[in-house]
Amino acid sequence: MLRVLNANKSFGGIKAVNRFSMDLKDSLITGLVGPNGSGKTTLFHLITGFYEPDSGEVYFDDQPIHGLPAHKISQKGLVRNFQHSRVLPFLTVRDNLLASCPHQLGEKILPVFFLPSKIRAQEAKNSQKADEVLNMLKLDHLADQPAGRLSYGQQKLLELGRVLMADPRLILLDEPTAGVNPSLTRQIVELIRELTQKGVRFFMVEHNMPLVAELCPRLLVMDAGELIFDGSPKEAMKDPKVVEAYLGKDPGAARGR
Amino acid sequence: MDYLLHIIILALIYTTLAMSLNLQLGYTGLYNFGQVAFFGVGAYTTALITLAGYPVWFGVIMAMTMAGLTGFLIAYPALRLSGDFFGIATLAFGEMARLWFLNERWLTKGPMGLPGIPRPQWIGDGVDSLPWFLLFSLVLTLLAFWWLKHLTSSPFGRALKVVREDEYVARALGKSAVSFKVRAVVAGSTLAGLAGALWAHYITYISPNDFTLQTTILILLCVVLGGKGTIWGPVAGAFLVIFFQELLRFLPIPSEFNRYLAATQGMVFGLVLIILMLKRPQGIIPEHRN
Amino acid sequence: ADAVEVGAITPLSGKISVYGEGFQRAMMLAVQEVNEAGGIKGKPMEIRFEDNASTAQGSVSAMQKHITIHKLPVVFGPAASSNFLAVCPIAQKNKTVIIGAESAAATITDCGSYVFRVFPSDLLQGKGVAQLAESLGYKEVVLTYINNDWGVGLGEVFKKTFTAKGGKILDEFAHDEGKADYRSEILRLKRARAKAVVNLTYIKEGATMLKQAYEQKLKVQWLMGSASKSPKLAQLAGKAAEGVIGTYPAVAHGTEKYKAYKTAWDKKYPGKKLPIFGGYNYDMVKLTAKALNMAPDFKADSIREALMKASKGYIGVTGDKSFDKNGDVGATYGRWTVKGGKITTY
Amino acid sequence: MFYLQLLLNGIIAGAIYALFAVGLTMTYGIFRFINFAHGELIAWGAYGVLLFQGWPFDLPMIWAVPLALALTMAIGLAADRLVYSPLRHGEGITLLIASIGLSFLLRNALQFFFGSDLLSYDVGLMQALEFGEITISEVQLIMAACALVFLGGLYLLLTKTLLGKGLRAVADNLELAGIMGLPMQTISRTVWCLASLFAGVGGILLAWDTNLDPMMGTGNLIKAFAAVLLGGAGNVWGALLGGLFIGVAENLSVAFIDPGYKDFIAFSVIVLMLLFKPHGLFAMARGVR
Amino acid sequence: MLLEINNLKAGYGNITILHGVNLEVNPGEIVCLIGPNGAGKSTVLRTVAGQLTPSQGEIIFEGQNVSKESPEKKGVKGLIFIPQGENIFPNLSLLENLEIAAFALKGNDTYQNRLNQVLGSFPWMKDRLNRPAKELSGGQRQALALSRIILLKPKLVLLDEPSLGLAPLVVEDIFSQIQAMNQQGISFLMVEQNARKGLSVSHRAYVLEQGKDRLTGTGAELLCDQRVQDLYLGG
Ligand SMILES: Nc1ncnc2c1ncn2[C@@H]1O[C@H](COP(=O)(O)OP(=O)(O)OP(=O)(O)O)[C@@H](O)[C@H]1O
Ligand SMILES: Nc1ncnc2c1ncn2[C@@H]1O[C@H](COP(=O)(O)OP(=O)(O)OP(=O)(O)O)[C@@H](O)[C@H]1O
Ligand SMILES: CC(C)C[C@H](N)C(=O)O
Ligand SMILES: [Mg+2]
Ligand SMILES: [Mg+2]
């Protein structure tokens, strides 16, 4: 489904992503972990067209997508969230969701004037979906508030909701549950499971290891921009490199990156 | 009576201008400080065309087309810039347009300006009078208003706001930020061209002096004081600013103090601006009520 | 209380407000004298001033207010020709008399039957400057003019007349209004190595250019126009203005009228120098008062007739103000120079 | 020689833009808005000298100048207290409009007190210093020197003193600076004080070189601001370089085309520079976070 | 009592978020605040820190009512706030960040001494003192923000989600740093979504819901409480 071939990206002297290759094949949910600053977010930026790789290739459904602008990639059904949530602060919570629907006829100038009834129908359908998502994320009471007024965790949830509205085939999630209350986290887990039933695939960065272990049949581990492990979470817990770089057997040792 | 009609016509012209800027600044977050250039392009286009003997309706359409086209041409390069950089580049562009009108004398007569621009004639003789011109501008402004209202309350308007709030999010959601911005700039400049045409046919004389930074500031005031990012904001703003400006002429200043006339008016204007911003930073019609 | 009101649109703020205050003072001086002499048919005369912020929009608004709210039959029009041109059609259409005291553009001649000016058209002055250059024996000059309606209009007439008589223009360029730094323009003047430079400019720009030219030791004969003939220029540019020669619509300083005007001015505004074009504004008001006194009623049409009649043979501070059929006045051009820091006739 | 002289004129003109940019870059860097009233602070500095030279003070120039600068700073402080501080947490555009209002107020107040006539300091004329065929006037030299001194001073202040670092912290994240307990009042006052001081100095020099009218400050403002942006917000040396760029471009253009197009050249240089360097000359690319 | 909050009401503009919150922190305690998203946890901290002004109720710090005081004043008294998310100055260098964090010390000897302590605790900082802080990774940023505690030696630290976005290794590290500082007598009022972790290092805790404190107890008690488990810990 998603393939990255020998991708590189550096900032100044820092090799944020270094000779990185992977192939998601058709695994339902793939986890990505790694110490802070190991390049996970940068990798996401590379895949989704927000950064251009210094070198390397990215394929989605066997089509090359490296070098495509971000919105084209998103239109192909590869949608992401942002690690530091970026809600649209002055739009209402509902509008945040509605704006995320793909292929909206009403976003083109001419149909606005010539196909108003079609647009209304589409809006109604999208609104219904938005309401479902709001309910699920427990944001329904805030639907008409500007999103900038949400708490940190609520913004995080809204961003997740936005991704769901976009009808994606593959979702890239960057720490979707950071700052989210544990009981809601449970629900998100259920949701992800449900969606996989419908054929949606996930590729997610997450520092909550129990959750990763539970959710992801396959786990990739990055360190210093490189892929150091690819396998099941169980194996990862035993892999000395992973333990040393990421999990830590002796907590308390101060570590930088 | 004519004075009132005159003020209303001015306010309508500024309404169109403010709406055209609001589409960019209020909805799309583009600080286009060169809006006066499109105003000027519109005015000069129709002036040159109608002075050459073509009918007014043709001039108006060409004014909008030329302004829109200019908008399109500068939009692509300028939109590589973000935020204040776009602001300063468009501001520079606005001044460049004025200097061009000023120096290309073979076409624009330079600082001498173009006198004798005809008023619309096709409705008959009476059109030359102010009530008819008011009607003419009212109809065009209403059309522009209706068009914008439709556009901005549609998903298109929502998408513009997405671009305004966060370009990265727009891109992540599959919307080409550039394409939305270009459309906003082109639509905005087309409307500014319309305002320019109205201005030229109303005043019947134009010169580069009409298209200075001052005008830009006035348009900006209309948008922000009225309430940016709203449908009625620019309308309210334009009427407020123009009427207030004229109202200042009625400050009771005894004739012994004639020398202080302009200074007093200016100080009051400035003071009121400051107070309005302190009391109503979101404008008269805020985008969000608390 | 029951005054006869006349309107005025004056640049009291904005780009050319440097001129506005002087115009206003001169007009008020004239009004005072009119009223001391009995006013208009026993009623006091009063001028209702409106600021136009030096813009066309401001001028049109002011004009509309004068016409509609105050129903004034006579308005003293705005200064810069570009502003004057914006209000002419309104005056003409509403049958309101408009009089200009310093708007010089040639096109104003064709503005209509309600439009007058007591200031001669550029057409005349352009020729005047050309004659000046010629009579001083300069066959080759550099021409620079301020980049506005006045400068460009005048420059064009000058160029046509001067070259038609065999003069040669070595370099020609416009300079911007209101800059603080003309040093590079001056360098360009220097490069042309002309003996004389025709510089058609305003006071502020003129003073700055003269100063900066002096600084850079540019030694040429400066030939200038009427808009810079002001004691202010001599004061601001100091030594640098010494020896400048210019033309202006001739105003004989020896006349009784002129002396009286100067005395009255010094009395009313002690310490203030006579403003540029002050005499024209003064004459405009005085002549209008005369016409108002002659007119059977205060309707614009009667006043227009009366103005035509009153002006015949009217000799004001600035000379003969007889209107021709276009509402223009004639002029002979005098020459001025700066000597010992003072403006004198050349 | 001709071109060398043009280049030199350009450099000095650029230094003047930079001088005006010093204050602007401070307020812009910290509060993120174009202070339109900066031009009026410039004018107030210049007129302040006349004020203190005239009735009822009748002070000599040496006293009038510092007093004028003090007056300008007082105005800056008052503006901060009454207008800018209350709006500190608002949007940039709100501050921008408020500053437009303030500029109207201050400019017309000048006109109210001094009239709109042209005035001058009546300092004698000087001939320029000559170096071979190249000439520079003393005022020009002083202006350039002032630009350098003030930019340098600002640079030292911002990078070497604790208060300066506080200023930069506020510029970086206003909200956080408040939470971290930085003395926001002091910082905001310092900024306005310094910005007004720089404006006042610029105004006095400009008036010395030319003359005074209430609009004197506004003319160079756009270009000064463009210099700020070209250099990168709050980047002191950037402002200088940006100013030089504009100054040199417009003055060199005089040799080739009609000076009526001088400003046109200046503006097209600004636009072109921005097209090639969309975030200014020195800005580092900011990533998505 | 170090901090006592009585019937605190506060919010944004005219929206009230906190509808009467009561809680207290004793000297030497780590107190944890948990609750669902949007319960008002961050709002409590912001109000106590002085970023928001309470509309009602009192905030008593060391016996003094400090309800209306600015963050600047509270800092001097020994009450500091380390917010959630963006809590460093990205364009300032590391060293400058530290100087700003200790602005109140005005760079005197105490500052120099404590700077050395910071560098002792986080040795990796030494190499990067002059690099801009935006180059730091998430964990390093959090460490930088926490070093303010070492610099200012406050009495009470308000800490909003210290573990946010950190790798497990670093989370352990940060919490052990907090405990170490607590050993030196610094008290903490801390919000944590990683509630198990948070509760396990705290002496006492409060559960906040819809702007009110609903439950309180020791960390261990709440960890075992069935209701808390169901509602807030996700089973
Ligand atoms: N725009 C940028 N400019 C300079 N350096 C950057 C930029 N973006 C990332 N880096 C650096 O690249 C490296 C990888 O960063 P990245 O954000 O991808 O890490 P991450 O794995 O997502 O970490 P975390 O778990 O903390 O989110 C870091 O060293 C970071 O400092
Ligand atoms: N600036 C604001 N303006 C208006 N309402 C706000 C603002 N910030 C937060 N709120 C509202 O206040 C409520 C509480 O927010 P707060 O940030 O205190 O929650 P929290 O408990 O910290 O949540 P989280 O765990 O998600 O961070 C939320 O409903 C939120 O919508
Ligand atoms: C004010 C004057 C200098 C106006 C000038 N005579 C003109 O016609 O524009
Ligand atoms: Mg990351
Ligand atoms: Mg929170």
Instruction: Give E131-166 pLDDT, tens digit per residue.
Output: 889 888 888 888 899 999 999 999 999 999 998 888
Tell me how many residue pairs between chain A and chain D have CB atoms under 8 A apart. Answer: 10
The pLDDT mean for chain C works out to 91
pLDDT score for C104: 87
pLDDT at B2 over 90: no
**CB proximity under 8 Å: B 41-70 to C:** none
Task: Give the whole-angstrom CA distance, residue C311 versus residue C329.
Answer: 9
Is E80's CB within 8 Å of D172's CB? Answer: no
| pLDDT class of C132 with cuts at 50, 70, 90 | very high
> Cβ contact (<8 Å) for B3 and C46?
no
The strands making up C115-117's β-sheet, listed across from edge to edge, are: C45-51, C4-10, C74-76, C97-100, C115-117
As a whole number, mean pLDDT of residues A44-69 equals 94
Interchain contact D10–C (C-beta under 8 A):
yes
Residues of chain E with C-beta less than 8 angstroms from the C-beta of D178? 51, 71
With a 6 Å cutoff on the Cβ, whether C79 touches ligand 3 is yes
CB distance B203–C64 less than 8 Å?
A: no
Answer whether B229 sits within 8 Å of A90, measured CB to CB. yes
Per-residue pLDDT, averaged over A212-229, amounts to 94
pLDDT for the residue A248: 74
Chain E contact for D167, CB < 8 A?
A: no
* Residue B68 domain-assigned (yes or no): yes
CB–CB of A208/A179 below 8 Å?
no
The arithmetic mean of pLDDT across residues D231-248, rounded, is: 85
Contacts for E6 with CB less than 8 Å, ≥ 6 apart: E22, E57, E58, E60
Q: Please give the model's pTM, rounded to 2 decimal places.
A: 0.93
The H-assigned helical ranges of chain C are 17-36, 56-68, 81-93, 122-135, 149-164, 183-191, 203-215, 231-237, 256-268, 278-294, 300-311
**Given this model, what pLDDT does residue A250 score?**
45
pLDDT tens for residues B231-284?
A: 999 999 999 999 999 999 999 888 888 889 999 999 999 999 999 999 999 999
Report the gap between the CA of E17 and the closest CA in chain B (Å).
14
Chain E meets chain C (3+ C-beta pairs below 8 A): no
CB contact (8 A) between residue C176 and residue D262: yes
Query: Quick one: DSSP state of residue E193?
Result: S
Q: Whats the size of chain D, residue-wise? A: 289
ipTM, two decimals, is 0.92
- String of DSSP letters for chain D: -HHHHHHHHHHHHHHHHHHHHHHHHHHHHHH-S--TTHHHHHHHHHHHHHHHHSTTT---HHHHHHHHHHHHHHHHHHHIIIIITTTTTS-HHHHHHHHHHHHHHHHHHHHHHH-SS-B---PPP-PPEEETTEEE-HHHHHHHHHHHHHHHHHHHHHHHSHHHHHHHHHHH-HHHHHHTT--HHHHHHHHHHHHHHHHHHHHHHHHHHS-B-TTTTTTTHHHHHHHHHHH-TT-HHHHHHHHHHHHHHHHHHTTTS-GGGHHHHHHHHHHHHHHHSTT-SSPPPP---
What's the rounded mean pLDDT across residues D177-206?
92
The whole-number pLDDT of residue D75 equals: 97
Contacts 24+ apart (CB under 8 A), C167-172: C167/C130, C167/C133, C167/C134, C167/C138, C167/C139, C167/C140, C167/C141, C168/C139, C168/C140, C168/C141, C169/C140, C169/C141, C169/C142, C169/C143, C170/C140, C170/C141, C170/C142, C170/C194, C171/C142, C171/C143, C172/C142, C172/C143, C172/C144
Q: Which ligand is nearest to the CA of E138?
A: 1
Find the chain A residues whose C-beta atoms sit closer than 8 A to any C-beta of B. Answer: 48-50, 69-72, 74-75, 79-82, 86, 88-91, 95, 98-100, 102, 104-109, 112-113, 119, 123, 146, 162, 166
For the record, the structure tokens of B84 come out as 């204040």
Going by beta carbons, is chain D in contact with chain E, meaning 3 or more pairs sit under 8 Å apart?
yes
Locate tokens 């813009």: which residue?
C55
Kindly report the nearest CA distance between residue D243 and chain E, in angstroms: 24
* Residue B243 within any structural domain of the chain: no
Q: How far apart are CA D192 and CA D205, in angstroms?
A: 20
Find chain B residues with C-beta within 8 A of A166's C-beta: 173-174
Is the CB of C227 within 6 Å of ligand 3? Answer: yes
Tell which of D157, D179, D188, D235 to mutate to test the E interface (max E CBs under 10 Å). D179
D286 pLDDT exceeds 80? no
Is C122 close to ligand 3, i.e. is its CB under 6 Å away?
Answer: no
Domain-located, residue B279: no
> What was the pLDDT predicted at D282?
65
- E188 forms beta bridges with E30, E157
Q: How far apart are CA D194 and CA E49, in angstroms?
A: 31
Interface test with D, best of E48, E69, E72, E81 (most D CBs within 10 A): E72
In this structure, are strands E64-65 and E56-61 parallel, antiparallel, or unpaired? antiparallel
The pLDDT assigned to B25 comes to 95
**Does B128 score more than 70 pLDDT?**
no
B290 touches chain E (CB under 8 A): yes
In CATH, A2-86+165-255 is 3.30.1300.10: no
Q: What is d(CA D162, CA D172) in angstroms, rounded to the nearest whole number?
A: 15
For D1-276, CATH gives 1.10.3470
Question: Could you tell me which residues are beta bridge partners of residue C5?
Answer: C46
Q: Whose CA is nearest to atom 22 of ligand 1?
A: A41
Could you tell me which of A171, A50, A70 has the C-alpha nearest to residue B179? A70
CB spacing of E104 vs D181 below 8 angstroms: yes
Is it the case that residue A255 has pLDDT exceeding 70? Answer: no
Sign of the torsion angle spanned by Cα atoms C14, C17, C21, C23: negative
Q: Residue C330: is its pLDDT beyond 80?
A: yes
Asked if the bond preceding E36 is cis, omega within 30° of 0, the reply is: no
Rounded Cα gap, residues C104 and C314, in angstroms: 20
Does residue C248 have its Cβ closer than 6 Å to ligand 3? Answer: no
Residues 6+ away with beta carbon under 8 Å from D242: D17, D18, D21, D226, D227, D228, D229, D230, D231, D280, D281
Between the CA of A174 and the centroid of ligand 4 the distance, in Å, is 7
pLDDT at C26 exceeding the cut of 90: yes
Residue C63: name the closest of C33, A76, C73 by CA: C73
D62 reaches C (C-beta below 8 A): no
pLDDT in tens, C219-272: 999 999 988 888 889 988 988 999 999 988 877 777 888 899 999 999 999 988
| pLDDT at residue D89 tops 80 | yes
pLDDT in tens, E6-64: 999 999 988 899 999 999 999 999 999 999 999 999 999 999 999 999 999 999 999 99
Q: Which one of B30, B112, B171, B274 makes the best mutation probe of the D interface by having the most chain D beta carbons within 10 Å?
A: B274
Closest C-alpha to ligand 2, atom 8:
A149
* B36 within 8 A of B212, measured Cβ to Cβ: yes
Domain of residue E83: give its range: 3-232
Could you tell me the CATH number of the domain that includes residue E166? Answer: 3.40.50.300
pLDDT band at E85; cut points 50, 70, 90: confident
Which residue ranges does chain A devote to CATH 3.40.50.300? Answer: 2-86+165-255
Chain C residues close to D137, C-beta within 8 Å: 212, 215-216
How are beta strands E187-191 and E156-160 bridged, if at all? parallel
Q: How far is CA D133 from the centre of its chain?
A: 31
Residues of D in contact with C17 (CB under 8 A): 111, 116, 213-215
Q: Across the interface, do B274 and D93 touch by the CB < 8 Å criterion?
A: no
Pocket residues for ligand 1 (CB within 6 Å)?
A 11, 14, 16, 34, 36-42, 83; D 287; E 135, 137-138, 165
A246: helix, strand or coil: helix
Of the candidates E132, E121, E139, the one whose C-alpha atom is nearest the C-alpha of residue E94 is: E132
Average pLDDT over residues C201-215: 92
pLDDT at B120 over 90: no
Nearest residue of B to residue A117, measured between CA atoms: B154
Nearest to C250 by CA among C316, C204, C324: C316
Nearest neighbour of E99 by CB, restricted to D162, D173, D181: D162
Domain membership of residue B108 as a residue range: 2-213
Per CB-CB distance under 8 Å, the chain A contacts of B172 are 48, 50, 70-71, 74, 79-82
pLDDT at residue number C63 = 94
- Give me the number of domains chain B comprises: 1
Domains in chain D: boundaries: 1-276
Report d(CA B138, CA E114) in Å as an integer.
71
B60-109: per-residue pLDDT in tens?
999 999 999 999 999 888 888 888 889 999 999 999 999 999 999 999 99
- Closest CA to ligand 1's atom 12: A16
DSSP-derived 3-state class of residue E186: coil
* Residue C202 Cα: closest atom of ligand 3: 3
Mean of pLDDT values over C102-107: 87
Which tokens belong to C288?
A: 């209008």
Q: Which residues contact B268 (CB under 8 A, 6 or more apart)?
A: B248, B251
- For residue E37 and ligand 2, the question of a CB distance below 6 A is answered with yes
The answer to whether E198 and E192 have CB atoms below 8 angstroms apart is yes
Q: What is the pLDDT of residue B48?
A: 97
Which residues in chain A are contacts of B151 at CB distance < 8 A?
109, 112
Mean pLDDT of A223-232: 94
Let me know if residue B168 belongs to a domain.
Answer: yes
Q: How many CB atoms lie within 10 A of CB C96?
A: 23
User: Chain D closest CA to E91's CA: distance in Å?
Assistant: 6
Written as one letter, the residue type at C149 is D
Task: Report chain B residues whose CB lies below 8 A from the CB of E17.
Answer: none
Report chain D residues whose CB lies below 8 A from the CB of C179. Answer: 219
User: Residue B243's closest CA among B14, B33, B1?
Assistant: B14
3-state helix, strand, coil in chain C (%, to 5): 45, 20, 35
